[in-house]
A = this chain, B = another copy of it.
Amino acid sequence: MRFSQLYAPTLREAPADADLVSIKLLIRAGFVRKVASGVYMYLPLGLRVLKKIENIVREEMDRIGCQEALMPIIQPAELWHESGRWDDYGPEMMKLKDRHERDFTLGPTHEEMITSVVRNELRSYRQLPLCIYQIAPKYRDEIRPRFGLMRAREFLMKDAYSFHSSWESLDESYKKFYEAYSKIMERIGLKYLVVEADSGAIGGKESHEFNVLAKNGESTLFYCECGYAASDEKAEYMIPEPEVARIDPPPLELVETPGVRTVEEVARFLGRKTFEIVKSLVFKGKDGYVMALIRGDQDLNESKLRAHLGDQTLRLAEPNEVYDLFRVPIGFVGPIGIPENVKIVADHSVKPLANFVVGGMKEGYHYINACYERDFKIKEWTDLKMVKEGDPCPKCGRPLRSTRGIELGHIFKLGTKYSEKMNGYFTNVNGESKPYIMGCYGWGISRTMSASVEQLHDKNGIIWPLSIAPYQIIITILNTSDEKIKKTGEELYELLQEKGYEVLFDDRDTSPGAKFKDADLIGIPLRITVGRKIKEGKLELKLRTSEAQDVEIEEGYSRVLEKVDQLLAEYNPGDVLEVE
């Protein structure tokens, strides 16, 4: 491609609302343009990268026998009523009505649709397993779209769905996807971490996330030398053997704690440590209210509570809801004397305590010397703790470490959640009717583009891995009116394309400085500069991540071509850059 023809306007400054280095660079370098909040257009360079990511993902899907199809973007509401998710999915689902006032959604995911299609045609265990994928736009109406392509409202996903007659068959498919996703990460060439993950609103019994490591990644990940790794929502720790609670604590006493609300304030006021206080957090779920108890120096992990109760609609109750329930402001709520219909769930951290502080259930008061069993009952104990760096690894006990990442892939064992609700049944080998056992597997295609830039860039611009660079080579000619320079550039442009390289030929009539800046900003792995040194029979080769070197021009350019091959084979931007 001739740069003079390419539509890739580069900008000196990013728009003010670009909030991450990746979206700043992608806009400045002419890969994308913002059209509306969270809605982007891909310019030719951006689309080239997108297609390369798509193709790597497609090849790995095909390799594991997953078949490509294409589902509609607009989905009739009826399907989502069947699964019960029309109401559950919340305001992130984009909805519309057609001219006949029938409801549709712009699909955020396609479990309902694929199940509705295959249930009419997959009737026997002999037709299973089946695995279908597609690469198509998806929608999520973020309340505040941000981070460029990472939290966009329209984005490109690969989503796959598998159907099985047994859990063993699902396990096999899950393993294949795990390996295919690892392969995709390796082929793209990004540093990554696979973690155990919470399956959230999608449901199911097991799930893993594939994260690209990046300093400003959205997700906090925990990992250990032993190989354990989990997302913060899912991460566990080695729970210490609980000591038996001390017997004979002093009697329960209600003390005045005026205007004192937070754990820290209460601790300071009463002269206690924060671990001597028990926080009482009230949640609202589909079956009513739940009170979760956890030690004052710990944070509660809502995902664990949701998973424990099997209720994905669970959320922290609003202050007014809590007041209506207990007639007490939120800072003075505690477990003593609450109505029986409010279920208590306690974190293991409460177990060793025998003499602690809880809310007094009276404005301006707390109980001291509280003691479970004696003063109130706890029937459900579970792990509700948000793990911290340094907590003992649940597998080996060594201290957990943390890092930040960007989630690109997510695989789920769904089980029979959708097939049961949507009447997706097959006849098994014994002639019995059974629901399909399902898996689903997502990969963020447009997100991958941003994540790569987020991990690989420097102060001059983007650094593309060779696998997804829009062009592998840029030929920069420094003086378009010098016939020899121009001829050399043109000859190399022809030759390198014949050899199968994708080449951008910077034939623009602009300054050398501007050309070098653009080449760095766009992030092409190898730059070939044809300039003044041509008088000495030399040109310059420069990898994006290392110093330039001169190469002598011979008849037929054999030395140049050899050096190009060699440099591109050596190119490994991940080795050069520091990633936490």
Residue of B whose beta carbon sits closest to that of A8: B67
Residue of B whose beta carbon sits closest to that of A77: B36
Residue of B whose beta carbon sits closest to that of A132: B7
Give, as a whole number of angstroms, the nearest-CB distance from A500 to chain B.
17
B44 x A69 contact (CB < 8 A): yes
A69 x B43 contact (CB < 8 A): yes
Indicate whether A73 sits within 8 Å of B154 (C-beta atoms), given known contacts A41-B113, A68-B44: yes
B154 x A41 contact (CB < 8 A): no
Per the bound structure, the CA–CA distance linking A113 and B65 in Å amounts to 39
Chain B residues within 8 Å of A362, by CB: none
B69 x A99 contact (CB < 8 A): no
Chain A 87-104 interface 0/1 with B at a Cβ cutoff of 8 Å (1 = within): 000011011101100001
Indicate whether A35 sits within 8 Å of B5 (C-beta atoms), given known contacts A40-B72, A44-B69: no
Give, as a whole number of angstroms, the nearest-CB distance from A323 to chain B.
28
Indicate whether A141 sits within 8 Å of B70 (C-beta atoms), given known contacts A41-B113, A121-B9: no
Chain A 104-122 interface 0/1 with B at a Cβ cutoff of 8 Å (1 = within): 1010000001001100010
Indicate whether A96 sits within 8 Å of B96 (C-beta atoms), given known contacts A67-B44, A69-B42: yes
For residue A33, CB closer than 8 A to chain B, the reply is yes
| 26 A-B interface contacts by CB (under 8 A) | A5-B67, A7-B67, A7-B69, A9-B121, A36-B75, A36-B76, A36-B104, A39-B74, A39-B76, A41-B113, A42-B69, A42-B71, A43-B69, A44-B69, A46-B69, A47-B69, A50-B70, A72-B154, A73-B137, A73-B154, A74-B106, A74-B153, A91-B99, A92-B99, A94-B96, A94-B98
Given contacts A36-B74, A44-B69, A74-B106, 13 further A-B contacts (CB under 8 A): A9-B121, A35-B113, A39-B72, A39-B74, A39-B76, A40-B72, A42-B69, A47-B68, A74-B139, A91-B99, A92-B99, A95-B96, A96-B106
10 closest Cβ pairs, A-B complex: A96-B96, A42-B70, A9-B121, A36-B76, A44-B67, A39-B72, A91-B99, A41-B71, A99-B141, A47-B70
